[in-house]
Amino acid sequence: MKNSKSFSFEFFPPQTQEGVKKLTATCLQLAELRPEFFSVTFGAGGSTRSSTLETVQKIKADGHEVAPHLSCIGSTRDNIRTILNVYKKIGIKHIVALRGDRPVEAASGEFNYANELVSFIRAETGEHFHIDVAGYPEFHPQAKSPRDDLLNFKQKIMAGANSAITQYFYNADGYFRFVDECRKVGITVPIVPGIMPIVKFAQLARFSDACGAEIPRSMRKVLEGYGDDNESLQAFGLDVVAKLCDRLLAGGAPSLHFYTLNQATPSLEICRRLGL
């Protein structure tokens, strides 16, 4: 039976012509699932600003809904205003508003936190954009405490965000606990789980160490045990992530947002197992 839940997929802007061709093919494959939207990331300090715009324009021109990321670190009100006007002109109606990582060489810009960016977008454009913000079921690695992180998250919602997409995780209970805590403090918006397919262990471990996403110890041990046997690792990863997605949807998650790393096959296979 086909799952009635919606899905979305995230890309990063390619930096080479080969990467552009690969992403075009990936987008074409994933579009067959009729996702709610594709999102496109925005590099630290706006480092991929021009390529993000190019990627967004291409996906939009191909007839798909697209949600560009905007990060406030290293940005000014003027350049965010300019970007918003461009997006309005080409028919974009969905933004993912983030604080973003601070690169060593970048100036801090005129915004410090994502709630300030959300407030600015609302002040400039009213209700034109649906705004997503980030949520952290295992709390942000720079937060003083889970409680502080929860209250910071609430600030972003109160500033005008419509919904949230979480950092990826592999513990469904952590997601459900996070949603429960949000509801207790009056956060009622949809909170969409972010899903990271498992393709390479070293890559996953690097990402997780950087963003604070926990790889459960038992799972880490199994992944480490595969060594160079990438085929077995990916088969195990598909089982783990498909079961995670199934449990999330069964438990009431409103949608799933896949961090594709510009690859179609892992996300396609997970969606196939979910009944798409």
Catalytic site residues? Answer: 10
How far is Cα of residue 48 from the mean position of the Cα atoms in its chain? 16
Amino acid at 120: F
